[in-house]
Amino acid sequence: MKAKFLPRRLHWLFWDVDAKKLDYQKCDIYVIKRLIEHGNEFAIGWLFKNYNGNLGRGFKIG
């Protein structure tokens, strides 16, 4: 993972928290779920760049 905080272009997805202070490394499950549920093309691209192999952790499929 690279930067510790979300890029400004993703702040609109986190309307219920202060996105400037959201540490996406500590809140990874919350951030991943929000980006998948509400994100646009940029958000999904950022997700794959920044979470690499962590995308399967904590999710139940099926």
The residues pairing with 5 across neighbouring beta strands, listed in sequence order, are 23
Q: Is the pLDDT of residue 58 over 70?
A: no
Provide the residue type at 25 as one letter: Q
Cα dihedral 32, 33, 39, 41 sign: positive
Q: Is the pLDDT of residue 57 over 90?
A: no
Phi, psi dihedral angles at 15 (to 5 degrees): -70, -20
Q: Is the pLDDT of residue 34 over 90?
A: yes
Lowest mean pLDDT among 4-8, 15-19, 52-56: 52-56
How much is the pTM?
A: 0.78
Q: Is the pLDDT of residue 20 over 50?
A: yes
pLDDT for res 1: 47
Q: What is the DSSP string of 1-62?
A: ---SB--GGGGGG-TTS-GGG-BTTTTHHHHHHHHHHH--HHHHHHHHHHHGGGGGTT----
